[in-house]
Structure 1
Amino acid sequence: MKGLCPVAELAVSRFLAAPRPAVWRALTDPDLLAAWFGPVGFSVPRDTVDVDVRVGGHQRLVMVSDDDPSVTSPVDATFTEVVPGEVLAGEETLPGGAVMTLRQELADEGDGTRLTLRQGPFADELVGPATAGWESAWTRLDGLLADGQRAS
């Protein structure tokens, strides 16, 4: 990221046609995370997922390119705020020392759940690709939640 100035925060929201407890479980259960996390074109091997959902706990996983398994993107975040069923927030120190924060909030909306995510900082030119990545992952999450049996 040399030469890029992180100046923006990504903010995206999505309606999920599932109750809040099912969405919370999909965000925190290692088996379910492995099933949906990451943009289309990447997979998360279940054996790379380790989650300890508490303040000071962690979320660790590795996204692997489906086209080239040598291309990986590890996640090693520490939870800074956990309100079961409502808020999951954390931070990750990136190579070079920058700290990336992520906050996910869940709220009841009609017969489903509104998931709102804030992540950053990003250089302006990376907000679009990061947003597209989350939208892609959430499409996979929609499918998982629609299955019902796996996420309930």
Structure 2
Amino acid sequence: MADTAATTELVITRVFDAPRELVYRAFTDPDQLAQWFGPVGFSVPRDTVDIDARVGGHQRFTMVSDHDPAMSSTVNATFTEVVENELLVGTETAEGVPGVAEGTVFSLRVEFHDEDGRTRLVLRQGPYTAEMEGMARAGWLSSFGKLDTLLAG
């Protein structure tokens, strides 16, 4: 029997070989976000990205399948807490997400910690069903591989 209760929080801790100011900027600068967000096989067209990184501000963009452009997912999140170079917290209401009830509210918390010139990022997102948590984890880890490449450039 499948777990249909959305009670699981996704938690990922990842160290990036870049100062936290650069990692934070990759999340808040539309040009950079368009270069790394989305798992391999998906891209974010720059003209879909709009970010206003302040309390009450927003993060909006569309992730599109490279193989089937008709397959896309829109993100429309609102920031509830913002501390420059340290913290981004927000909520997003699900719209058209396969396997997720319309109107489901997800939270996202991204912490940026300095680790001797590198950045320890702690990401929390949910609630998810166990199945959706696994898919979200895979998506973030694939995206973070693309972010590693961007930060190394």
Q: TM-score range by the shorter chain?
A: over 0.9
Gaps of 5+ in 2: 96-101
Q: Which residue of 2 aligns with 1:78?
A: 78
Q: Secondary structure at the match of 2:7?
A: strand
Q: Secondary structure at the match of 1:5?
A: coil
Q: Given the two structures, how large is their TM-score scaled by the length of structure 1?
A: 0.93
> Residues of 1 paired with 2:150 and 2:112: CA distance?
17
Q: Which residue of 2 aligns with 1:57?
A: 57
Q: Which residue of 2 aligns with 1:150?
A: none
Q: Secondary structure at the match of 2:33?
A: helix
1:142 CA displacement: 0.4
Q: Deviations over 1:35-83 (max 9, x none)?
A: 0011111000000000001000000000000010000010000000000
Q: Which residue of 2 aligns with 1:146?
A: 152
Superposed, 1:1-152 pairs within 5 Å as 4-95=4-95, 96-147=102-153
**After the TM superposition, which of the residue ranges 136-145 and 125-134 deviates more from structure 2?**
125-134
> Residues of 2 paired with 1:93 and 1:132: CA distance?
21
Kindly provide the amino acid, as one letter, of the partner of residue 6 in structure 2: P
RMSD of aligned alpha carbons: 1.0
1:7 CA displacement: 1.2
Q: Secondary structure at the match of 2:133?
A: helix
CA contact (8 A) 2:16 2:148 kept: yes
Gaps of 5+ in 1: 148-152
1:111 CA displacement: 3.0
Q: Figure out how many residues of one structure are paired with residues of the other and give that number.
A: 145
> Residues of 1 paired with 2:16 and 2:71: CA distance?
30
Kindly provide the amino acid, as one letter, of the partner of residue 57 in structure 1: G
1:136 CA displacement: 0.3
Q: Given the two structures, how large is their TM-score scaled by the length of structure 2?
A: 0.92
1:112 CA displacement: 0.5
1:14 CA displacement: 0.6
1:5 CA displacement: 1.4
